[in-house]
Structure 1
Amino acid sequence: MQDFRIKLKEIYLPFVVVSICTILFYNLFRWVFDIRLGVIPLKEELLDIWIPFIIPVLPVLIWLRRPIRILKLKDTDRGRSGIRALMIFAIVAPIVISQQYIKKAAFDLVTLENASEIKSHGAEKYFKINNFRVNKDARVDYATARTSGKRNDRLNFFLYLACPFKNAENIWYGVEYNESTGNTGTTTQQNAWFSNFLNYSERNFASYYFQDVSYFEKVGYSDDWDGYMQAIKNANPNAAETQQIILIPKTDEFEERFGDTLLWVFGSFGIGLLVILLLILYSKIDEKALRDFKANKPLKDDDLRAVLNFLNPLGSNGGTAILIFVNIGVFVVMIFSGISFVSPTGTELLDLGGLRKTEVVQGEYWRLFTSIFIHFGFIHLFMNMVGLVFGAILLESILGRIKLILSFIACGVLAGLASIVVHEHTISVGASGAIFGLYGLILAFTVFRIYTIRTRALTWGLLVLYAGVSLVTGFLSDGVDNAAHVGGLLSGFVLGVLLIAFDKENLIKKAG
């Protein structure tokens, strides 16, 4: 019973408090600054899903990492990581679900006689229009494809059709068609699938009944908004985005818009609380860790402090930290500029500074540099940063901060050159070519025995697991720029050989 009280007081109740405060904080923040004031320039997909996945991480790591340590676990590191992950997910689930509820609860249904009256209700979201007509013949459209999934294994087709309301300038009736399939097959096959999707959508739209609507929902800032706006701008490039209003029809009753959302919010939170409670009750207490916790002794192996020290730009891994921050910083800027968090389009990437042969041949050589720091969504960025960390920590102690960064950039540029030589029309982005360059340096230092015998065993394993597997996977998969990978690896190896030729003894000394 004593152990139960300790676990309840020191772990479970703090978790409950942290969970409730985090959920309330984000929902209140979203309600005030996004829904009411509209001052957050981020897309709905990011605010609905991705930020809620990130928000709980800090509270759990800051306030709960010490209490978790009083539990005696079989596999200490994995056990603690597993409990932290479960705690984070127990907070994430109700936050994500609640976003749909607060967005719908924030607005009432406004009844209008005609569509033109909407402009006098700019802050509202839901409308019932008693009399409206749509000019189907003046429709505009935009079709695109995006990939999704952990390994971009899904191919998603979208067709956005916008028809103007009659006697209502800049107000559009939006219709969307979408289809998802496996991201397999050749480029020719995928083009055929896309063509079939467009043909099917056009046939369906030909018999579309515009009056089959209970009420309208105004499209917010989202990927769908971008799709409709691109359709409008295809017909009128000078159309002002801030003046356009896009309405999508809803066929259910307005009172039923919540469904079981609120029940799922509390249900998911309750399930999370129960799982954490059972997990804590099942675990035993580490008496020594409990005494240290009550005495508030500093942690000997503090994961959070270790990460912060690693990411210190002025620390021993400063070059690695700078490269990580630059890549993440560019990605954050991309998100604030409206680029999709998960799957940007090729046009978006090209506009930001992505690499393609046509533009480079026309004199835009700067793309060889900018494309290194642009990534195709969060997963692409995350995977590249993992590869960067493992490669850079084996090089920075030998090369130093400045040489590491310069080597990264040089290999990235050479990898880009390899890409445009091989690929005529491919849009290439990402740090992977530069990272493969770092692994080329590691390969040179391993082959020519710059590293110690013990370190060489590690580098051979890392080269096989990361570089080798990545190259094989790239050759077997579509959509991977293996030319940049091979070009980066070779350029890094050559650079390593040159460094060894001019400064071998000093490199060996630093590697030791």
Structure 2
Amino acid sequence: MDYLSYKLKLIYSRYLIIALGSIIGFSLFDICFFQTQIIPIEESFYEFLIPMLLPIPSLIFWLRPRLKLLRLERKNGKNLFEFYLIIAWFALICPSIFAQKYVTNAVGQLTRLKTIDSIDQKYLTKFYKVEKLYLDKAHSAVQIEAKASGKHNEKLNFTVYAAIPIYNAPTLTGESSSNKVTPNYLRPKAWLGWLMTRQINNKLSKETKDDMYRTFLKDSYLSFVREKIYGFDYLQKKGNSQDYKNFKKGIDRVFPNSTSNPILLMPKYTPYEKRGSHQLFLILLSFFIGSTIWLIMLIPPKFKKEKLLMPVSAI
């Protein structure tokens, strides 16, 4: 009896169906509902959380019964059954996460604008190319965040968020309203997002962390002042995410009369035609590596003959 062919037919084929179903099926759902904002949720949910949780029911109720056909008990008393399921789960979620990152960065309509004032705030698209614009760095809205991360909060992340008002030209005019002149820079049509982040050890002394924080702020300011931001190829509208909320905090504080949902555009310096290409490579690479590892793991274990003799419908 060719036991390898049985493993491919009874076990490995189910793994491949779950993998392709998770990647392709959820990607299509993402494109139709999350990217179009029909279901408005944060990017972290559909880029990480859902792809991590989605394969679990299929693994438990569809792959797990077939995996019980194999003798995974070791002579030392250890059972590798749960280990096999965990490896299969990792092999499934990696390409699925990369797929959603690819969808976020590659799927969407490109709109070409002569000036930023011509942006349609009622019908926003994912990508923009603007022929003429001016970035008013002098009136940027800055928000600084410090957040612990890691399993035991052993890391501390500093991030500076700068939302730069985008205009057609550097000339600022004013208009009279109730005997008060309001400059145009209080009402930009859109903002360009710039951020800088640094991670340090959260177990350092308070004095050391304070010194590193001040150094980070100084470095961020110098980078912001010196950096030539204009060299981008296109702009990508920032979706609902924690980064967007942090940008919005700064905008709401500095520009209290701004819209409740400001348009935030992130500069992209790679050619528009190549957007998401590295994520597409990571999808294929992670799928190949994960599928190969799990296939190799299926080769050594022997079948439980008493289980193999049962009808397939009963397995």
Normalising TM by the smaller chain, what interval? Answer: 0.7 to 0.9
Q: Report the CA distance shift for 1:286/1:142 in structure 2 as closer, same or farther (over 3 A).
A: same
Corresponding position of 2:19 = 19
What do residues 256-292 of structure 1 show as CA deviations (whole Å, max 9, x unaligned)? 2223322321222122222222211221011123345
Q: Report the CA distance shift for 1:166/1:6 in structure 2 as closer, same or farther (over 3 A).
A: closer
Q: Report the CA distance shift for 1:8/1:207 in structure 2 as closer, same or farther (over 3 A).
A: closer
Task: Say which structure is richer in strand.
Answer: 2
What amino acid does structure 2 have at the position aligned with 1:4? L
Does 1:130 pair with 2:120?
no
CA contact (8 A) 1:70 1:293 kept: no
Of 268, 271, 283, the match for 1:250 = 268
For structure 1, the residue ranges without an aligned partner over 5 or more in a row are 298-512
CA contact (8 A) 1:35 1:103 kept: yes
What amino acid does structure 2 have at the position aligned with 1:74? E
1:179 match: secondary structure: strand
Q: Report the CA distance shift for 1:210/1:87 in structure 2 as closer, same or farther (over 3 A).
A: closer
For structure 2, the residue ranges without an aligned partner over 5 or more in a row are 169-186
CA contact (8 A) 2:139 2:165 kept: yes
2:230 match: secondary structure: coil
Corresponding position of 2:29 = 29
* Alpha-carbon shift at residue 40 of structure 1 (Å): 2.5
1:241 match: secondary structure: coil
* Alpha-carbon shift at residue 212 of structure 1 (Å): 2.2
Q: TM-score, normalised by structure 1?
A: 0.54
* Alpha-carbon shift at residue 237 of structure 1 (Å): 4.1
What amino acid does structure 1 have at the position aligned with 2:218? N
Corresponding position of 1:58 = 57
CA contact (8 A) 1:217 1:248 kept: yes
CA contact (8 A) 1:213 1:251 kept: yes
CA contact (8 A) 2:52 2:93 kept: yes
CA contact (8 A) 2:156 2:200 kept: yes
* Alpha-carbon shift at residue 77 of structure 1 (Å): 6.6
Corresponding position of 2:182 = none
**Residues of 2 paired with 1:117 and 1:13: CA distance?**
52
Of 198, 207, 215, the match for 1:179 = 198
Q: Work out the number of aligned pairs and report it.
A: 295
After superposing the two structures, state which structure 1 stretch, 61-70 or 249-258, moved more.
249-258
What amino acid does structure 1 have at the position aligned with 2:298? I
What amino acid does structure 2 have at the position aligned with 1:24? I
Q: Report the CA distance shift for 1:52/1:191 in structure 2 as closer, same or farther (over 3 A).
A: same
Does 1:201 pair with 2:200?
no
Does 1:212 pair with 2:231?
yes
Task: Say which structure is richer in helix.
Answer: 1
Q: Report the CA distance shift for 1:260/1:236 in structure 2 as closer, same or farther (over 3 A).
A: closer
Corresponding position of 1:115 = 116
2:100 match: secondary structure: helix
**Residues of 2 paired with 1:52 and 1:235: CA distance?**
37
CA contact (8 A) 1:18 1:59 kept: yes
CA contact (8 A) 2:167 2:189 kept: no
Runs of 4+ aligned structure 1 residues displaced above 4 Å come to 292-295
Of 225, 235, 252, the match for 1:233 = 252
Corresponding position of 2:179 = none
Corresponding position of 1:3 = 3
What do residues 26-53 of structure 1 show as CA deviations (whole Å, max 9, x unaligned)? 11211111013x1323211221122211
* Alpha-carbon shift at residue 90 of structure 1 (Å): 1.4
What amino acid does structure 1 have at the position aligned with 2:31? W
Corresponding position of 2:104 = 103
CA contact (8 A) 2:145 2:159 kept: yes
Q: Report the CA distance shift for 1:63/1:252 in structure 2 as closer, same or farther (over 3 A).
A: same
CA contact (8 A) 2:34 2:46 kept: no
Does 1:68 pair with 2:67?
yes
What amino acid does structure 1 have at the position aligned with 2:157? N
Corresponding position of 2:44 = 45
What amino acid does structure 2 have at the position aligned with 1:277? L
Q: Report the CA distance shift for 1:49/1:99 in structure 2 as closer, same or farther (over 3 A).
A: same
* Alpha-carbon shift at residue 98 of structure 1 (Å): 0.9
* Alpha-carbon shift at residue 188 of structure 1 (Å): 2.9
Corresponding position of 1:165 = 166
Q: Bigger relative contact order, structure 1 or 2, given CA contacts below 8 A and separation 6+?
A: 2
2:80 match: secondary structure: helix
CA contact (8 A) 2:119 2:189 kept: no
Q: Report the CA distance shift for 1:19/1:208 in structure 2 as closer, same or farther (over 3 A).
A: closer
Q: Report the CA distance shift for 1:237/1:11 in structure 2 as closer, same or farther (over 3 A).
A: same
